[in-house]
Amino acid sequence: MPHRKFESKGVAVPSGRFSRLARFGGMAGGIAGGMLLDGAKQLAQGKRPSVSDLLLTPANAIKVTHQLAQLRGAAMKVGQLMSMDAGEMLPPEMAEILGRLRSDAQHMPNSQLQAALNAHWGVGWQARFAEFSFKPVAAASIGQVHRAKTKDGRDLAIKIQYPGVRHSIDSDVNNVASLMRLSGVLPKTLNIAPMLAEAKRELHQEADYKQEGQYLKRFAELLADSPEFLVPKLHADFTTQSVLAMDYVDGVPVESLTDAPQEERDRLMTLLVGLLFRELFEFRLMQTDPNFANYRYNTTTKQLVLLDFGATREFPPEMPEQYRRLMNAGLAGDREAARRAMIDISFFTEATPDHYQAAVIDMFELSLDPLRDNAPFDFGNTDIALRLRDGGMAIGQERTFWHIPPMDTLFLQRKFGGVYMLASRLKARVNVRALMQPYL
């Protein structure tokens, strides 16, 4: 069968350190020029604009989004992470703009893709395939996915990393952090060094496709007794540090199931919530990226497909017990026991002001509502998500005291929040208490 080639009007990824730095410089220069013009206009009208007001104009936000989307790699990933993790810290305009990055990835042009595959597989790699589609089936922050069929009959999904991504991670993270500081949306007193170090660590891990392949295999083994889940098989002979090959699996995006029968939506979210508890309490191994694109649903086999394991995290042995104590204290209404458990987990310290501790405990108690009754909880008929967001924003506005919990805790909270958001979007009804009970 001849190779199929599709026309691809992709946007080349700047792969050199200096070309990427120039993009950041151009972005900053364009923003600064826009600020001067906007500032002059407002001064002429008798207003005294603040620096952050000038930075967060729609025009500047569009510039940032466009440039980060073209840089891709860590620059785009940090924008995505900030839109999800720091929503309560960022002004709504910035959070909305960064949120667009979750769906704005552009793919490589054919010439750059060919050169990348020549480098990873060697010249003449096409001879191993009966068919290779040059039109990607998906494009994300650090790579894009293509469908291919091998000469020996395997139907594969092949994820190919953008050139230069791995080598640009540290500088990209530092540059995006500088943009955030420049914007004034983060307090100068906040030590974000641990968060930046962790962002770099996670991104280096996500850029190692050989390691992701090993996590893919581990989850397939851990879920071998659960046929309701489908983890694609790894194909090691086509996998390198920058290319990941796995079975191609049919499925629809989980967030597209908003009109599916109620029973199907309930079952899907029951599977996801149950998996979340197994990851924490049984496996101590969790895929921590809550991006909805990491899950698909096979409408024929009724299986939940798990796709992306780049952000997999192993938890320390004491973590399940710490969360077990916290959950039991919360469900028993014992605020003091919950406070001590939160200190052990490092949500805050003994020195944290009492009103801040109380606000965090209030949010935790609110988040337990789906667990209080041994009955299906209707995620489509509750305003808890909005109330949690408002509570987070209120805490975030207290800029004199910000405490960053340990990264394991932040990543776990991110996953909890993502599953909650999906359950709300699907208006699912889930007996969360029954799923949690075996671990309490």
Ordered DSSP codes for 283-332: ISEEE----GGGEEEETTTTEEEE---TTEEEPPTTHHHHHHHHHHHHHT
Instruction: Tell me: pLDDT of 241 over 60.
Output: yes
Question: Picking from 23-37, 90-104, 260-274, 333-347, which range would have the lowest pLDDT averaged per residue?
Answer: 23-37
Q: Average pLDDT of 198-216? A: 88
The band of 6, judged by pLDDT with boundaries at 50, 70 and 90, is: very low
Predicted pLDDT at 45? 53
Predicted pLDDT at 400? 52
| Dist CA 138 CA 280 (whole Å) | 29
Predicted pLDDT at 244? 96
Other C-beta atoms within 10 Å of 438: how many? 11
Extended beta strands in 155-204, E state: 155-161
Q: Average pLDDT of 7-11? A: 48
Predicted pLDDT at 238? 97
Q: Average pLDDT of 56-80? A: 51
Question: Picking from 296-310, 359-373, 398-412, which range would have the lowest pLDDT averaged per residue?
Answer: 398-412
Beta bridge pairs of residue 149: 131, 155
> 163: closest CA among 12, 18, 310?
12
Predicted pLDDT at 411? 78
> 427: closest CA among 226, 262, 298?
262
Beta bridge pairs of residue 295: 306
The band of 194, judged by pLDDT with boundaries at 50, 70 and 90, is: confident
Predicted pLDDT at 354? 87
Q: What is the mean pLDDT of the chain?
A: 77
Predicted pLDDT at 30? 45
Predicted pLDDT at 56? 44
User: Token pair for residue 120?
Assistant: 């990873």
Percent of the chain with pLDDT over 70: 68
Q: Which of 198-212, 219-233, 276-290, 307-321 has the highest mean pLDDT?
A: 219-233
Question: Picking from 156-165, 182-191, 292-301, which range would have the lowest pLDDT averaged per residue?
Answer: 182-191
Q: Average pLDDT of 423-437? A: 93
* Residues belonging to the active site: 289
Per the CB < 8 A criterion, the answer to whether 439 and 277 are in contact is yes
The band of 51, judged by pLDDT with boundaries at 50, 70 and 90, is: very low
End-to-end CA distance of the chain: 56
Please tell me whether residue 273 adopts helix, strand or coil conformation: helix
Predicted pLDDT at 40? 47
Give the side-chain half-sphere CA count within 13 A for 120. 24
Predicted pLDDT at 164? 80
Per the CB < 8 A criterion, the answer to whether 216 and 130 are in contact is no
Q: Where are the domains of the chain?
A: 17-105+171-185, 251-440
Residue 70 vs residue 179, higher pLDDT: 179
Instruction: Tell me: pLDDT of 50 over 60.
Output: no
Question: Picking from 50-59, 113-122, 218-227, 284-293, which range would have the lowest pLDDT averaged per residue?
Answer: 50-59
Q: Average pLDDT of 374-403? A: 73
**What radius of gyration do the chain's Cα atoms show?**
23
Instruction: Tell me: pLDDT of 29 over 70.
Output: no
Predicted pLDDT at 412? 82
Predicted pLDDT at 107? 74
Question: Picking from 46-55, 67-76, 245-254, 364-373, which range would have the lowest pLDDT averaged per residue?
Answer: 46-55
